[in-house]
Copies of this chain bind each other. A is one copy, B any other.
Amino acid sequence: MFDTIAVIGAGNGGKASAADLALQGKRVRLFELPEYAGNLEAVAQSRRLIATGAVAGEAELERATTDLEAAISGAELLLVCTQAPAHDRVARILAPLVRPEQVVVLSPGSTGGTLHFANVFRQMGVERLPILVELSTLPYGCRASGESVRVFVKVGRVKYGVLPGRETERIGPALEALYPGFVRSESVLEAGLNNGNPVIHPAVTLLNAARIEKEGAAMYFYRDGVSPAVARAIEALDGERMAILRTLGYPAQPEPLTCVQQGYATASGYLECYSQGPGFIDFRSPDTLDHRYLHEDIGMGLLFYTSLGRLLGVPTPLSDAFVTMGSALSGIDYRARNARSLDSLGLSGMTVEALKEYLQSGVLPPGA
């Protein structure tokens, strides 16, 4: 079903995905935005990626291009491998080109990315939306440089959701054939709420704010940054995330257990998981708070929790506190910016039942 695949975004995740899928025998096109063309420099001529680690081999690409139409034309699957703040831009340039029979996978979905794509596509007049798929996490722990990509971890368990949910049966088997670790969710929202970043990154970042600004990469982000109190904050945020999932009628499990299943950690206690997990321990700190750990994980992820909490009647006091404090530290009023909420997604004013019906049907109720 998915023989020709366009990978959109040629950063770490994009190159790991392109290499993995090409080594599985797929025809792979690797696209990058013109302003990041440097990411394609080494591969533009050779059309080759050299992968080592959990994915290994010399992978041949069909194309490496900054021409989006050339990248996606004839592709059955579009794999969007960008950070969440770039989703809006990618959705806008895809809107005039994407075909209803194509499947667009956000890898990762960053909690609600598919809902944002759907909203942008509708606003830009796309009449029949492509099927949208949201992954709970990037399926690789990886670093790329030039032609080389090192894959530390191929993630053992990735939740995915499909919009509309009723298409899951039809396209699920082909997706699961590409990624054996894929596990079905009932909806893109269930998959998105299995993204652990909003409960992990903001707590470690804010509760180490001075050291991050002063020491940067000299600090090990998790090994130095996760103390018992930080672990308690992560646990409390995770409690809010799980309460939202359960109130939506979805299963919920503690984030550290997910980390163990994914292969990032070996112990499922909050402190041990993040401070000692093999997938966390050698990770170095960013050197600024002008970073996606705030802009994406607070300004989108936790902000979305507070929006869902209001709809569901689930208290999210700690998510709210992080949004307020993150805004004070970054100087960006994340509530005013409103980058991810039911309102920003065009889904405000719906009942919980109408929202869940929309997630299954992909059809907005009249008046929404």
A229 interface neighbour in B209, B226, B232, Cβ under 8 Å? B209
| Given the contacts A318-B324, A324-B321, A230 and B208 also touching, CB distance less than 8 Å | no
Contact partners of A321 in chain B: CB under 8 A: 320-322, 324-325, 328
Does A252 lie at the interface of the complex (its beta carbon under 8 Å from any beta carbon of B)? no
Closest to A209 in B: B207
A211 and B218 CA atoms in complex are apart in Å by 14
A55 and B324 CA atoms in complex are apart in Å by 44
Contact partners of A322 in chain B: CB under 8 A: 321, 325
Contact partners of A324 in chain B: CB under 8 A: 317-318, 320-321
Contact partners of A69 in chain B: CB under 8 A: none
Does A329 lie at the interface of the complex (its beta carbon under 8 Å from any beta carbon of B)? yes
Please classify the interface of chain A as helix (H, G, I), strand (E, B), loop, or mixed, using the class held by over half of its residues: helix
Does A225 lie at the interface of the complex (its beta carbon under 8 Å from any beta carbon of B)? yes
- Chain copies in complex: 2
Identify 9 new A-B residue pairs, CB closer than 8 A, beyond the known A210-B211, A321-B328: A208-B208, A208-B209, A209-B229, A209-B230, A210-B225, A213-B227, A229-B329, A317-B324, A318-B328
Number of interface residues of A (CB under 8 A): 31
A206 interface neighbour in B207, B224, B330, B331, Cβ under 8 Å? B207
The 9 closest A-B pairs by CB, nearest first: A213-B227, A321-B321, A321-B324, A210-B227, A207-B209, A229-B329, A236-B328, A209-B229, A321-B325
Most interface-central of A318, A321, A322 (chain B CB within 10 A): A321
A232 interface neighbour in B225, B226, B236, B328, Cβ under 8 Å? B328
Does A246 lie at the interface of the complex (its beta carbon under 8 Å from any beta carbon of B)? no
A317 and B324 CA atoms in complex are apart in Å by 7
Does A214 lie at the interface of the complex (its beta carbon under 8 Å from any beta carbon of B)? yes
A207 interface neighbour in B210, B228, B318, B320, Cβ under 8 Å? B210
Seen from chain A, the residues whose Cβ lies within 8 Å of a Cβ on chain B are 204, 206-211, 213-214, 224-230, 232-233, 236, 289, 317-318, 320-322, 324-325, 328-331
Nearest chain B CB to A63's CB is how many angstroms away? 43
15 contacts between A and B (CB under 8 A): A207-B208, A208-B208, A208-B210, A210-B224, A211-B224, A213-B227, A229-B329, A232-B328, A232-B329, A317-B324, A320-B321, A320-B324, A321-B324, A322-B325, A325-B325
Q: Is the CB of A233 within 8 A of B329?
A: yes
Contact partners of A232 in chain B: CB under 8 A: 328-329, 331
Q: Is the CB of B320 within 8 A of A229?
A: no
Nearest chain B CB to A344's CB is how many angstroms away? 20
Contact partners of A208 in chain B: CB under 8 A: 207-211
A328 and B210 CA atoms in complex are apart in Å by 20
Contact partners of A224 in chain B: CB under 8 A: 210-211, 214
Contact partners of A331 in chain B: CB under 8 A: 232
Most interface-central of A204, A230, A324 (chain B CB within 10 A): A324
A281 and B130 CA atoms in complex are apart in Å by 59
A234 and B186 CA atoms in complex are apart in Å by 44
Q: Is the CB of B325 within 8 A of A318?
A: yes
Contact partners of A329 in chain B: CB under 8 A: 207, 229, 232-233
A225 and B212 CA atoms in complex are apart in Å by 11
Nearest chain B CB to A278's CB is how many angstroms away? 20
Contact partners of A211 in chain B: CB under 8 A: 208, 210-211, 224, 227
Contact partners of A233 in chain B: CB under 8 A: 325, 328-329
A228 and B289 CA atoms in complex are apart in Å by 10
